[in-house]
Amino acid sequence: MLRTAGFVGVTFAFVVVMVGTTLPTPLYPLYEQELGFGQLTVTVVFAAYAVGVIAALLLLGTASDVLGRRRVMLLAIAVSALSTLVFVTSPALGWLYVGRVLSGISAGLVTTTATVYLVELAGRSSDGGAGSGKATRAALVATAANMLGLGLGPLVAGVLSEVFGEPLITPYAVHLGLLALALAAVLLAPETVEPKGGSLRPTRPAVAAEARAVFVPAAIAAFAGFAALGLVTSVSAGILTTVLDRHDRALTGVVVFTIFAASTFGQVALRGVPTRTALRLGCVVLAVGATLLGSSLPAKSLVLLVVALVVIGIGQALCFRAGIAEITAQSPPAKRAQTVTSFFLVAYVGISFPVVLVGLASGPMGLRDAAIAFSAAVAVLAIVSLLAQIMIAKNRTPG
């Protein structure tokens, strides 16, 4: 009973921390007006998130083994609360960067810890290991919590900022309340490991030689899929206001939620698709979705935009799930963690830094044309990954 309650509590905390990472998305136009910056700065503020995530992955990746799962979850909640407080009280642009970096650190901590924590809380088999069926279901719950949290952030902020007053305060105040509940939930959860103690060891990313052939196309596909997520999360508010003439923060929240909900659906509902088929299919779906996204902007079609985001979300999900499965299967146990960490680093670089190019290009080109060019680049990368997979498969075929 205690484990079940703990499982629910940790899942809730996972969602709430991830909500905080995308909470500012529909509010960026307000920050532009309040602090007097443009689209380039919006994308740089958004990208600062990756600095925190990468730092957490590399420097704090072993924290839950050393300190225990529950302590690191509590630390993630505390860092998330600090990030939210920075946004509430941010008097200047520099503090927005600080808030985003802290948000990234909280995400890096909770992503690496909560997934393992949930698998362990789900139950153990008689030989002491996590039961395979329960472990698989727990991993799916972790995936859903991650993506739904990312999607709920803009939705919650958009609706609250439109319905209630003080749009730059109310969403964050609600998030702080949710974090307080998450803190209580995790405090009640049982610890699942005996902390090893000692010092934290930085994680050194590397790619196992046995996995390099599959790593490259899988990483390209993941990079493309996460770049599309980054585009939507960072500049969707700007696209809706300047391109589609829709000045509604709640609508921005719904639009961004759509792509993450589709990604969640793709990872959970399509998990039965064989790995190699899923990776190839994901590249095709992602390329189609990116093409639809680029087409929706000159057409000024909100319906086509939403359809494009659903397609992109499913394609990204297939690429990401299959990519992890492929490189995990090909990596020897001793090098598996390093290889998977490298894959995650590629994905997080993809979700953040490329969108800065959109910010740079939006000055001379305009946001619409910059987003169209970015969508085309995503489609090209997806096709490159697909072709690389086909070539590798042919080279493996005897004769």
For each successive 10 residues of the chain (399 residues), what is the average pLDDT? Answer: 87 97 93 90 92 90 84 97 93 91 95 86 55 72 90 96 92 98 95 79 81 92 96 92 91 95 91 89 98 96 97 96 86 79 89 91 93 97 96 73
Residues 347, 89: Cα–Cα separation, whole Å: 31
| The two structure tokens encoding residue 209 | 């030689």
Backbone φ and ψ for 334, nearest 5 degrees, come out as -65, -25
Residues 23, 343: Cα–Cα separation, whole Å: 26
Calculate the CA 160 to chain-centre distance.
22
The full DSSP string for 51-67 is HHHHHHHHHSTTHHHHH
Residue 326 CB contacts under 8 Å (≥ 6 apart), including other chains: 214, 218, 275, 276, 279
Residues 226, 219: Cα–Cα separation, whole Å: 10
CATH superfamily of the 204-399 domain: MFS general substrate transporter like domains (1.20.1250.20)
Q: Do 375 and 293 touch, CB atoms closer than 8 A?
A: yes
Other CB atoms within a 10 A radius of the CB of residue 128 amount to 6
pTM: 0.89
The predicted pLDDT at position 163 comes to 92
| 1-202: CATH topology | Growth Hormone; Chain: A; (1.20.1250)
Give me the residues paired with residue 130 across strands: 124
Report the chain's C-alpha Rg in angstroms: 20
- Listed by start position, the domains of the chain span 1-202, 204-399
The predicted pLDDT at position 398 comes to 57
